[in-house]
A and B are shown apart, each in its own frame.
Chain A
């Protein structure tokens, strides 16, 4: 089904003629005529109105009783009155009722000054309350979770928080306990409300019943300023608004952008601001002298960095990670134009080549984020959005719940979305290619069962796929099959169907498009082929590359093959590291430059759907931090190449000149909501220049998915939880008596430096755990919480056992990015076979307490 354009109708409210969309709720229609109807429980973000609070009563001609404006759709010719005596009396009465039990502790209440209940009592209430009896009493405030305090006395039972928990992330942890006038909000058996999106209920609560521990009493609405920006902690790039007091971020609020985030934030985005003020933040340039960091002045640091890079010349490589488009653009220009090298990459492991990147970015086969809302079928492929890009998880859930979208999930590890899925396919770690080849073949041959059947039967379908399926030896095949799938499903001719890629890092798409790829320059243009991230590592180790520029990356934590990177960094002659915080990697640097956070930066980033968004400076840069683009431009000049960039807008201008399909996108046009470049004037340019020159045949030759022909159309045998044996990988299930398992790794939402450095989030930091299936656990004699060591050859990490029913036999999973026992030591392109043993050295691990489980019921 596709998005419909609703009819316009006319109605009168308070004698004013108003035009509105047919089917819109009366409150919303009234807003268009500048008439305000007070509401408490109505919140369109939460889905259908419930009409619980009765605050919105209005008189409608022809209906004897008052009606709730929040749940009455408008009709043509309707006549509504919002200010009659009857309505006033009702409103007064409702406010009086709400205040029966509400303590008037506004001066100590955090919500005071930004409280809808205050506003509505002042605007629509009576100034007197006739109730003289004792109010309800509860202990106040009590922790609802380590992040949220609940004051039940203030609660007006609007159910917004409960509806959120039940209907948006669907964790169903919040409940109404007791009945009648004793009801209160809580969780069963007083468990803490731990969920990845819990913070949203603080914003939803119309009174001060739910407050944030990190913001409680920090400021009042008149002490603060709001600064809009974009959260760059994950690829969802949710729009945020920073609350600033004394030039520091005190709180992060959602800045509703229905096309990006639907007005929700995950707790990492909401509480992760604390990392900006952590003690580990690099506040000024550092030089390492004899292994010790010494503060350096900016000119000194730039000169030292430039001297090293100049000396290494074309034997320099650069890796870019947490960077804006502007920063990425200047880094690649330093490498290519100033140093004459071609070795630059923005990925953590090698993936798609230029042709494939271009083919996949084809606007015709790309979906927009909002296409998920109305698609008939969504296929989530090789990514678990709850970990990789939480906002997408909510969007997929919304489509399933509100639109009846059929969901298909195909991943290696059981995903949080499995529960709502119509079809679940599981492939062995690293075997996405086989699954995709089969799927593509099935679709081509007209199968009408399983995922293929779903996709073929859909009028509009969206495939949300993870960058990781393109990794490893079989990556190219997987992506070719994906392109073929898009081709045979005819995405190019279907306006609301297409692919969306969930990359591994927040601004991956932008960085690729501004030229941070080894084989593509700005605008994905053809350039001299340089080394990709793995070749850079190897080159450093072998001495072919001498100097390394790291911009916002931490290879020792985030990249596969930790040991290899350690050797590479040791071998590197000169390392320049731009980093927000001190990490293990910065210890290998010769010069460290501090980086701005997303509350301080001025620049643009590109959302996975191609939307350019602006990151705006809201808070003061702590210490002696300079803007990233400025430092890079100075560095480039010091090396001997003038960039001509003297301000942030000039940096954006340089990009829009260099990237043809970003043409004409100025800061003003991008503005607060962002703009997809595919909607800009230059989309045709992309098709004309890039697509015609690269792949006339979108499927690169040599990877014709013939391998799967045999199994095409065959019944998708794999029940959820079982690995689907594919012809080319009968492995999966296959066990060997040695007890070796196929290891897959995944990046947990909480396993990153933001969590370590934000005191409020600390408790969510997962300790390493080994997920095994019930059968394997039984066979290996493991039980929950056992300490084991996972070994592959020389490499080994310790972990605690977690048994997951949905896991396929023969596979096991570890978390990447944990502080200790990081699973990245295992990943060297292909999934490892690991043996499980007992650890020799007992390590005193902090109990995980099942934290990672939070969103995965």
Chain B
């Protein structure tokens, strides 16, 4: 395709700085930056050695979910009502409930979650499930390290969510 001369639009350039202005443009800004560099030259390094060291998160940080048990009876708080699944905008929660056997209770109510799965690959960490839960059975934890090699490993089951989280994420204290 050839371009005819009429189609070419000439856009004028700004004036080329020359002389002092040019020299400042070439060196001045660079030196200003270098001053900061040099000034920090003898400071302690601020790199956080991530896997070994971690930035603390805020208390209301919404990380990986946790399911809870009652502290006294150790029954699961979740009754399998599926309200979290209904609230979830990413539709990543799946609950299949079942009836409790009074002899061998799993939760305190009539029903319990026989299957409770969250697909963390889909979760957008909005925390709606936590808000929907009438029993405070699910909360957003602080854990954000969930990378894995396999998508299906990102589907967290009830056992995984109930398990005491290995508290790897430090929490930011008051006023920090």
Contacts and interface: CB of A to CB of B under 8 A. Distances in A.
B62 interface: no
Contacts of B81: 107-108, 112, 220
Given A141-B110, A217-B99, A108 B79 contact: yes
A217 B80 contact: yes
A223 B85 contact: yes
A112 B110 CA distance: 14
Interface in A130-152: 140-141
B111 to A, nearest CB: 4
Interface residues of B, number: 17
B98 A105 contact: no
A292 interface: no
Interface string A82-109: 0000000000000000000000011110
Contact of A222 (B82, B99, B109): B82
Interface string B132-144: 0011000000000
Given A217-B98, A217-B99, A218-B97, A223 B111 contact: no
A800 B85 CA distance: 53
B25 to A, nearest CB: 63
A141 B111 CA distance: 11
Contacts of A733: none
A162 B91 CA distance: 40
Nearest to B83: A107
A851 B57 CA distance: 66
B162 interface: no
Contacts of A141: 110
B79 to A, nearest CB: 5
Interface in A217-268: 217-220, 222-223
B85 A222 contact: yes
A216 interface: yes
A220 B79 CA distance: 13
A220 B82 contact: yes
Contacts of A220: 81-82, 85-86, 95
- Most chain A beta-carbon neighbours within 10 Å: one of B85, B95, B111, B135: B111
Nearest to B97: A217
B110 A108 contact: yes
Nearest to B132: A107
A108 B95 CA distance: 13
Interface string A178-221: 00000000000000000000000000000000000000111110
Interface in A103-119: 105-108, 112-113
B128 to A, nearest CB: 14
Nearest to A113: B86
Contacts of A113: 86
Contacts of B79: 107-108
Contact of B111 (A140, A217, A222): A217
A281 B99 CA distance: 27
Contacts of A108: 79, 81, 109-111
Contacts of B97: 217-218
A140 B80 CA distance: 18
Interface in B87-127: 95-99, 109-111
B36 to A, nearest CB: 56
B91 to A, nearest CB: 10
B132 to A, nearest CB: 10
A222 B80 contact: no
B134 A107 contact: yes
A219 B96 CA distance: 7
Contacts of B98: 217
B85 A107 contact: no
B109 A223 contact: no
A107 to B, nearest CB: 4
A113 B96 CA distance: 16
Nearest to A108: B109
A140 B110 CA distance: 9
Contacts of B86: 113, 220, 222
A107 B99 contact: no
A107 B84 CA distance: 11
Interface string A625-647: 00000000000000000000000
A113 B97 CA distance: 15
A612 B83 CA distance: 41
A107 B81 CA distance: 5
Output the residue of A140, A217, A218 with the most chain B CB within 10 A: A217
A140 B96 CA distance: 22
Given A105-B109, A141-B110, A223 B99 contact: no
A573 B111 CA distance: 55
Contacts of A223: 82, 85, 95
B162 to A, nearest CB: 19
B110 A107 contact: no
A106 B110 CA distance: 11
A141 B110 CA distance: 9
A626 B99 CA distance: 35
A208 to B, nearest CB: 10
Interface string B46-59: 00000000000000
A228 B135 CA distance: 36
Contacts of B82: 220, 222-223
Contacts of B135: 107
Contacts of A222: 82, 85-86
B95 to A, nearest CB: 8
A87 to B, nearest CB: 32
Contacts of B111: 108, 216-217
Which of B79, B82, B134 neighbours the largest number of chain A CB atoms within 10 Å of its CB? B82
B67 to A, nearest CB: 15
Contact of A216 (B83, B95, B99): B99
Interface string B69-86: 000000000011111011
A155 to B, nearest CB: 16
Nearest to B82: A220
A105 B108 CA distance: 12
A209 to B, nearest CB: 13
B142 to A, nearest CB: 26
A362 to B, nearest CB: 54
Contacts of A112: 81
Nearest to B87: A222
Contacts of A105: 109
A107 B133 CA distance: 9
Nearest to A107: B81
Contacts of A107: 79, 81, 83, 109, 134-135
Contacts of B99: 216-217
Contacts of A218: 96-97
A219 B79 CA distance: 13
14 contacts: A105-B109, A107-B134, A107-B135, A108-B110, A141-B110, A216-B99, A217-B99, A220-B81, A220-B82, A220-B86, A220-B95, A222-B85, A223-B82, A223-B85
Given A106-B134, A216-B111, A220-B82, 11 more contacts: A107-B79, A107-B81, A107-B109, A108-B111, A217-B97, A217-B110, A219-B96, A220-B86, A222-B86, A223-B82, A223-B85
Pairs A-B, 8 closest by C-beta atoms: A107-B81, A217-B97, A220-B82, A108-B109, A217-B111, A222-B86, A107-B134, A108-B110
